[in-house]
Structure 1
Amino acid sequence: MAPLTSEQVQIIKATVPVLAQHGETITTKFYADMLDAHPELKNVFNNTHQATGHQPRALAGSLYAYASNIDDLGKLSPAVELICHKHASLYIRPEHYAVVGEYLLKTMKTVLGDAATDDILGAWEAAYWQLANIMIDKEDGLYKEADGWTDWRDFKIVRKEKEAEEITSFYLQPVDSNLKLPVYKPGQYISVNVFVNELDGGVWQARQYSLSDAPGKDCFRISVKREPGVEVGEPRHMTHPGYLSNIMHEKKNVGDIVGVSHPWGDFYFDIEKEDQEAPIVLISAGVGLTCLNSILNTTLEQSSERPVTWIQGARDSKTRAFKREIDDLAAKKSNLRTVYFSSSPAQGEMRGQDYDIKGRINLDSVDKEVLFTGNDRTLYFTCGPQQFMLDVEAKLKTYGVPAERVKMELFGTGGVPRV
């Protein structure tokens, strides 16, 4: 399509209040209508995010952000990067964008009625394809980087190991012995694709899981938390266990086959490009430790003398993964310091042995020398629940740490707003 005209840009900006008022109504109906007409797309979209309304809310927020920044799209570059990596892990194709565009415009017309004039719909069609083409081009570039790995590959579970009460590691090897595993960047993830019989008579569902060990091994390791269920906003929805996490824990065993994507993700530590002497501080809560564990192992395996601090929060020892592994590393590596928080230590657990500080992670309780806040080269990586990451960033900001030195991981639909 032709690029947006100046008149169309003004029309898009004028519809910002409309999106603020009707955006979620539009996107909720859009997904329902599109998936009803194209049930094959249920194999692409996250069913849980549909049930909770998270996906429609995220799309509504994205449309609002796009319209608000239509004349300065550079502000959206971080969000586009994040989304394109996730799309690449799901093998989104140009034809998917055509279907989405068709039903998005149809739904706008239905919901807005007479207010959706031909000029407004024409402007939004041009705006949609402007963004879609940016993303299609970006994703095409990512696929070209994958060295021919442009669809799901069969991987066999060769080892299954319980790491904590709620976390189990799966070691995955390609069924095709000729497939050489790429050297991914520590912090990146893969998508795992599994057939779920319990959904709509059976559909494929994919989820993103961080690679939890250093690259260069003969298999991928992911460490999956069993999710108890989804939160739903309406009582007519039944709360159910997290589909894939429970299938992985309960039904997938050594010898079973799952679909696996090429590693992707814009959250990573590029050890070769970063300052070789700059300290790094890894701050995680719950299962957020998985991607940071990959960064930790990679850094230490390369015999780096870089100062590293590992700060990990968990309820208690039963729910804390990898502690023995990390303590063994700390015993061997003088440049690694550890700080363990336990929000609810179990009876008999001892401070100084099972944990260091009681309570949720509070950086005010951590020695500033361990946080390296006095070093203006220190990099901070944090992963966990969204509010936890925002709180960490906000606290670091009070110590004088700028946002560009704080990196946050997010898997869910949408992005993390900056402080």
Structure 2
Amino acid sequence: MLSAKTIEIVKSTAPVLERYGQDITKRFYELMFKAHPELLNIFNQTNQKTGRQQTALANTVYAAAVYIDQLDKIIPVVKQIGHKHRSIGIKPEHYPIVGEHLLLAIKDVLKDAATDEIIHAWAEAYGVIADAFISVEQEMYEEAENKEGGWKDFKELYVANKVKESDVITSFYLKPKDGSGVSSFLPGQYVSIRVNIPGKEYTHIRQYSLSDAPNGEYYRITVKREADDQKPEGAVSNYLHDYVKEGDTIEVSAPAGEFVLNMESEKPLVLISGGVGITPLMSMLKVAAKEQPDRDMTFIHAARSGHYHAFRKEAASLDAKMFVCYEKPTEEDVAAQNFDKEGYITAEWLQQVIENKDADYYMCGPLSFMKAIYQALQEIGVKEESIHYEFFGPNMKL
């Protein structure tokens, strides 16, 4: 239990953290990785280099300062981050390391403004926040391990099938090497995969949505090849496309994630995806089509052209109103009438194709895509609480 004085000090630092948050988190990662380079085997180095991880952490630290006396308000964020932590193998012993270097970074960036009183207050507050994360994540580890067919950390699965879905997207069907089944999951969840890439010093962990309905036999992940394998974001996707073949093994976490389909809702369902963001929505669509056959469903997908469109036939075979938007359709697309709209999805077009606006909306895709869709949905009168979404990588703000 934090004292009133500690709460007062922490809350008073919130404006400072809002202003200098990214400077602090950037310095934090520099200090921590210098002292503990082994943690580079866990943390996503791509998100470090692009700055997204620093931004996400800064947002979380700021929220913790604002709601330090009402931590129940940030429990949803704690759970969302907890899923990611559990899937990559963050353990209780990592939290003291994080706390030590976060305080060092605050002191380093704020200089004399970070008085001993402020540092002491934040040390106390961090202990309470860390305990909340550890408690939530412990429950998640136990749940993952105790599920039928489940496991705690990483398990070796082999590539039973490798299927090209488009010019840049490939699916990998993963089964346990020991012949056992795999645990069930909720439509929309993801798994982490851990790979050792030749020539790279540290292991790489990435999250990929499960793109099929649960079946107890295999997981299907669907991966887009990034254009440049020399860029940080292309390292794992190009490795999977170019070097991982059928019969090879990959270390896989148990499923995780809170971006899941609400199967208790009877409202119309609207799924909107951009590019490889189709992956979690395919799982949602397949499960809803099977278990809620009377539910009104609309599936809207945007891609560059037919060459980049994954799961076209598979999605079309399910009972949903399907609309396709191609940014730059090819001559073949035009001849075959493979799409409903050319260019980008707009509010005016959504107004026409979504019959009942009082629906549950799920969307996934690149950040710029989701910002545009989020704004368009609000323009046509969709309530904020009806819009559910997931980012590629650390949680950001729309």
Q: What's the CA shift for 1:153?
A: 0.2
Q: Tell whether the 8 Å contact from 1:191 to 1:206 is kept in structure 2 after alignment.
A: yes
Which of 23, 45, 48 in structure 1 is aligned with 2:46?
48
Quote the Cα distance in structure 1 between the aligned partners of 2:381 and 2:389.
17
Q: Judging changes above 3 Å, is the alpha-carbon distance between structure 1 residues 388 and 190 closer, same or farther for their aligned structure 2 residues? A: same
d(CA) in 2 for partners of 1:109, 1:162: 51
Q: Give CA deviations for 1:301-329 in whole Å, capped at 9, x if unaligned.
A: 33612111110000100001111222233
Over aligned residue pairs, what C-alpha RMSD do you find? 1.9
Which residue of structure 1 lines up, in the alignment, with residue 189 of structure 2? 188
The percent identity for this pair of structures is: 40
Flag the 1:52–1:396 CA change in 2: closer, same or farther, 3 A.
closer
How far apart, CA to CA, are the structure 2 residues paired with 1:13 and 1:41?
30
Residue 59 of structure 1 contacts residue 414 of structure 1 at CA under 8 Å; is this kept in 2?
Answer: no
Match of 1:234 in 2: none
2:169 matched residue in structure 1: 167
| 1:381 equivalenced with 2:362 (yes/no) | yes
- Paired AA for residue 359 in structure 1: G
Counterpart position of 1:233: none
Change beyond 3 A, Cα 1:68–1:351: farther
Residue identity opposite 2:245 in structure 1: N
Query: Is 1:301 aligned to residue 285 of structure 2?
Result: no
CA distance, structure 2, for counterparts of residue 351 and residue 382 of structure 1:
29
Mapping of 1:318-333 within 5 angstroms?
Answer: 318-329=307-318, 333=319
Matched residue, 1:121 = 119
Change (3 A) 1:299 1:98: same
- Indicate the residue corresponding to 1:282 in structure 2: 271
CA-to-aligned-CA distance 1:40-61 (integer Å, 9 cap, x gap): 1011111111222222222222
The CA distance in 2 between the partners of 1:352 and 1:6, in whole Å, is 68
Match of 2:157 in 1: 155
- 2:246 aligned partner: 254
Moved more, 17-26 or 315-324: 17-26
Does structure 1 residue 356 correspond to structure 2 residue 345? no
Which amino acid letter does the alignment assign opposite residue 53 of structure 1?
A: G
Q: Which digits, 9 at most, give the CA deviation of each residue in 1:249-294, with x for residues without a partner? A: 11111011111000011001142x333xx21011011111000000
Q: Deviations over 1:367-391 (max 9, x none)?
A: 6463421xx3x21111112232233
Amino acid at match of 1:213: D
Partner Cα separation in structure 2 for residue 240 and residue 106 of structure 1: 28
User: Number of matched residues?
Assistant: 394
Corresponding residue SS for 1:297: helix
Q: Tell me which amino acid in the other structure corresponds to 1:98.
A: P
Partner of 2:375: 394
Answer whether contact 1:285 1:383 (CA < 8 A) is retained. Answer: yes
Whole-angstrom CA distance in 1 between matches of 2:195 and 2:330: 35
Q: CA deviation at 1:198?
A: 3.2
TM-score normalised by the chain length of structure 2: 0.93
Q: Quote the Cα distance in structure 2 between the aligned partners of 1:78 and 1:229.
A: 35
Q: 1:80 to 1:351 in 2, by over 3 A?
A: farther
Q: Which of 102, 111, 133 is the equivalent residue of 2:109?
A: 111
State the Cα distance separating 1:106 from its structure 2 match. Answer: 1.9
The equivalent position to 2:100 in structure 1, one of 77, 99, 102, is 102
Gaps of 5+ in 2: none
| Offset from partner CA, 1:200-236 (integer Å, 9 cap, x none) | xx21111110000110151100100112249xxxxxx
Give the distance between the partners of 1:302 and 1:60, measured in 2 at CA. Answer: 40
